[in-house]
């Protein structure tokens, strides 16, 4: 059997003998992607259990297991880990690294050593975030948004959290930069932009957001650090500063960051739907261009986070209008996916049911987003559980569910093994039911006025919190079971062929499974569209010796 990327690697420094050091120093994009996944899911579970601790506290009114201050630190820790360590870097760092170069026929990303450096920068950011837990007054209690002036005055470790977010942001910028250059320079001959797989389009749009938006929040965090450390009064009104300016600068980045999370996830959806419908994707160009336009419009809508912070009515109206506008390209994508499935030979494998489940959960997340776009509704629902439920439906039920879909989809590619289909489906249903049970009651609780970030509440909200708690238990059980299925699949699963799903994109046309060190042993000439099916069978076939078409 020929060697795969598990057997050999390129290293940043020298050629160490030990396997461990080879992993630590690897510059192979596939290995780096796997390492990102390993670290991120550790943090993911830390944040999940922080959330579970909060659910436990909220099971009944009154304080049970933690006091208010601890609760504030718990939701900040949950938010900081989930947003900065997991979701924002998540899909680009994991699948952008593992499959994007394979999809465009590149041997690696443009700057493999930078990629290696970026990974360790990310680890450094994680370490700083973790260290803030144990130093001084403990982790920040500001919420992940670090709103001034409270963040300027609290005694907790806000500075360390800010530094961590800055370092992680820097890693994010460098990842985006690397991918932009890779997509521009290293596409296989013949692959024009409109012959790229849609996941690559998602990554491309994302990379621009990473590149252009992250520096703005970076400098905002630096200003906040300078303010806390040197007493410069830029955001603190006691020194003449303007706290609303902080919110503007923060959301100029952090709202595009929402699209930075969802666009690569939509890319995964756009891969899975045509593959398991055995049909060419409907409206390839509109899906590709809608990614770009979501990225563009996403810059202009940050103001909808500030409806209640004080803004002129005209500004509010303009931001409201622009925010509605984002729903159009998003809707276009959803109609295209549904139209792709129409009259397709749908195969209900696990990745496909994850994708279908996400269509439901993200539609709920998206539509509830449209309701709070309206200024009047938003003033009523601001900082209630309605908003909490909305963004968890959009981010957890959209981004993370699609990340899981992608994990099932590319599992055979990465490992060369197959997980157990039946068990994986059971895991999906556990997750899906648990998720809806967990978050749907919060829409109702929020509508009736349950505020977010409170560790105590009035007795009439008890029933919603208790249903949520049951949902949380099922959901966490489902998550653990899913990872157990993956683990079993990797260690004991059957070996697969390089293309188990009958997919058409280039990452499935490799000589071996898992892929060899430098990907395609020979790069094909791309004179075909990414998703060509005829009568449910892929059109394009290769001779894997020469990578020339034989269809």
Partner 1 sequence: MGHEYVPEIAIDRDGNQHEVQGWQGDYYGGKLGFWLFMLTEVMMFGAMFLSLAYYNSLHPQDFLDASAGLNRLLGGTNTVILLVSALTMGLGLLRMRAGDVKGSKLMIWATILLAVAFLVIKGFEWTAEYHHGIFLMHDKLLPESSLPFGQKLFYGLYFAMTGLHGFHIIIGIGLMLWLLKRINAGKVSTEHHILHWNIALYWDIVHLIWVFVFPYFYMIGAGGATGGH
Q: Which one of 195-203, 232-240, 483-491, 500-508 is the stretch in contact with partner 1 (CB under 8 A)?
A: 232-240
**Dist. CA 443–CA 385, nearest whole Å:** 6
Smallest distance from partner 1 to CB 535, Å: 22
Number of residues counted as binding partner 1 (CB under 8 A)? 55
- With tokens 């509508």, the residue in question is 447
Smallest distance from partner 1 to CB 525, Å: 4
H or E element at residue 494: strand 494-495
Check binding of 162 to partner 1 (CB under 8 A): no
Q: Which of 351, 397, 524, 530 binds partner 1 (CB under 8 A)?
A: 524
Q: Are 112 and 77 in contact, with CB atoms under 8 Å apart?
A: no
Smallest distance from partner 1 to CB 116, Å: 13
Check binding of 68 to partner 1 (CB under 8 A): no
H or E element at residue 542: strand 542-543
Check binding of 547 to partner 1 (CB under 8 A): yes
Site string for partner 1, 124-143 (x = CB under 8 A): --------------------
Smallest distance from partner 1 to CB 468, Å: 39
Nearer to partner 1, 112 or 538 (CB): 112
Q: Which one of 87-95, 234-242, 436-444, 499-507 is the stretch in contact with partner 1 (CB under 8 A)?
A: 234-242
- What residues contact residue 154 under an 8 Å CB cut-off, 6+ apart? 140, 141, 142
Check binding of 315 to partner 1 (CB under 8 A): no
Q: Which one of 14-22, 236-244, 277-285, 394-402 is the stretch in contact with partner 1 (CB under 8 A)?
A: 236-244
**Dist. CA 306–CA 285, nearest whole Å:** 34
Nearer to partner 1, 285 or 522 (CB): 522
Check binding of 109 to partner 1 (CB under 8 A): yes
The secondary structure of 527-540 as a DSSP string is: -S-S--EETTEES-
Smallest distance from partner 1 to CB 504, Å: 17
**Dist. CA 166–CA 122, nearest whole Å:** 10
Smallest distance from partner 1 to CB 528, Å: 10
Ranges within 266-285 binding partner 1 (CB under 8 A)? none
**Dist. CA 159–CA 140, nearest whole Å:** 8
Check binding of 548 to partner 1 (CB under 8 A): yes
Q: Are 105 and 155 in contact, with CB atoms under 8 Å apart?
A: no
Nearer to partner 1, 192 or 491 (CB): 192
**Dist. CA 352–CA 101, nearest whole Å:** 23
Nearer to partner 1, 100 or 216 (CB): 216
Q: Which of 186, 402, 445, 517 binds partner 1 (CB under 8 A)?
A: 186
Nearer to partner 1, 108 or 141 (CB): 108
Specify the long-range contacts of residues 47-54, CB closer than 8 Å, at least 24 apart: 47/77, 47/78, 47/81, 47/82, 47/85, 47/86, 48/476, 48/479, 50/74, 50/75, 50/77, 50/78, 50/81, 51/78, 51/472, 52/472, 52/476, 54/78, 54/455
Ranges within 197-216 binding partner 1 (CB under 8 A)? 211-216
Check binding of 3 to partner 1 (CB under 8 A): no
Check binding of 312 to partner 1 (CB under 8 A): no
**Dist. CA 469–CA 473, nearest whole Å:** 6
SS3 assignment, position 417:
strand
Q: Beta strand pairing status for 542-543 and 494-495?
A: unpaired
- What residues contact residue 184 under an 8 Å CB cut-off, 6+ apart? none
Check binding of 173 to partner 1 (CB under 8 A): yes
Query: How many other β-carbons are positioned within 10 Å of the β-carbon of residue 379?
Result: 12
Q: Are 70 and 57 in contact, with CB atoms under 8 Å apart?
A: no
Q: At what angle do helices 284-297 and 198-230 cross, to 10 degrees?
A: 10
Q: Are 305 and 255 in contact, with CB atoms under 8 Å apart?
A: yes
Q: Which of 11, 53, 219, 363 binds partner 1 (CB under 8 A)?
A: 219
Site string for partner 1, 449-478 (x = CB under 8 A): ------------------------------
Nearer to partner 1, 186 or 442 (CB): 186
Q: Which residues here bind partner 1, judged by CB under 8 A?
A: 105-112, 173, 177-178, 180-182, 184-190, 211-216, 218-220, 222-223, 226, 230-234, 238-242, 245, 249, 252, 522-525, 527, 546-549
């Amino acid at each position: 059997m020929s060697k795969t990327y598990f057997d050999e690697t390129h290293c940043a420094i020298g050629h160490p003998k030990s396997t461990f050091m080879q992993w630590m120093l690897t510059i192979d994009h596939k290995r780096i992607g796997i390492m990102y996944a390993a670290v991120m899911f550790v943090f993911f579970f830390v944040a999940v259990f922080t959330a579970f601790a909060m659910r436990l506290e909220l099971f009944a009114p009154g304080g049970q297991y933690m006091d208010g201050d601890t609760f504030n630190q718990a939701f900040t820790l949950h938010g900081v880990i989930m947003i900065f360590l997991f979701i924002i870097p998540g899909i680009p760092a994991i699948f952008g690294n593992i499959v994007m170069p394979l999809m465009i026929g590149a041997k690696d990303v443009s700057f493999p050593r930078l990629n290696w450096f970026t990974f360790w920068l990310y680890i450094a950011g994680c370490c700083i975030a973790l260290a803030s837990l144990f130093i001084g007054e403990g982790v920040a209690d500001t919420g992940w948004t670090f709103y001034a002036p409270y963040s300027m005055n609290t005694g907790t470790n806000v500075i360390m959290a800010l530094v961590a977010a800055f370092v992680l942001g820097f890693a994010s910028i460098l990842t985006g930069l690397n991918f932009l250059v890779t997509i521009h320079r290293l596409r296989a001959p013949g692959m024009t932009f409109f012959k790229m797989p849609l996941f690559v389009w998602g990554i491309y749009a994302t990379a621009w957001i990473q590149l252009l938006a992250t520096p703005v929040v970076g400098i905002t965090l630096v200003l906040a650090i300078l303010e806390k450390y040197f007493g410069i009064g830029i955001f603190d009104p006691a020194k003449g500063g303007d706290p609303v300016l902080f919110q503007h600068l923060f959301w100029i980045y952090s709202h595009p960051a929402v699209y930075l999370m969802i666009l690569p996830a939509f890319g995964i959806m756009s891969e899975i739907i045509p593959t398991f419908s055995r049909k060419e994707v409907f409206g390839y160009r509109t899906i590709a261009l809608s990614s770009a336009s979501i990225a563009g419009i996403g810059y202009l809508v940050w103001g909808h986070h500030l409806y209640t912070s004080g803004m002129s009515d005209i500004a509010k109206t303009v931001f409201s209008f622009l925010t509605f506008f984002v729903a159009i390209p998003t809707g276009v994508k959803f109609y295209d996916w549904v139209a792709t499935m129409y009259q397709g030979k749908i195969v209900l494998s696990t990745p496909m049911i994850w994708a279908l489940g996400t269509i439901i959960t993200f539609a709920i997340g998206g539509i509830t987003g449209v309701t709070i776009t309206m200024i009047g509704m938003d003033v009523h629902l601001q900082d209630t559980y309605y908003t909490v439920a909305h963004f968890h439906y959009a981010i957890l039920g959209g981004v993370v569910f699609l990340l899981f879909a992608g994990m099932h989809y590319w599992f055979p590619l990465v490992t060369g093994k197959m997980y157990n289909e039946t068990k994986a489906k059971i895991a999906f249903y556990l997750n899906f039911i648990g998720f809806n049970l967990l978050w749907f009651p919060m829409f109702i609780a929020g509508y009736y006025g349950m505020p977010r970030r409170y560790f105590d509440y009035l007795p009439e909200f008890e029933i919603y919190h208790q249903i949520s708690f049951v949902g949380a238990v099922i959901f966490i059980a489902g998550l653990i079971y899913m990872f157990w299925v993956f683990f079993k699949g990797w260690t004991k699963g059957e070996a697969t062929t390089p293309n188990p799903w009958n997919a058409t994109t280039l990452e499935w046309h490799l000589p071996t499974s898992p892929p060899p060190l430098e990907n395609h042993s020979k790069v094909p000439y791309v004179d075909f569209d990414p998703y060509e099916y005829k009568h449910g069978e892929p059109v394009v076939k290769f001779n894997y010796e020469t990578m020339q078409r034989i269809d």
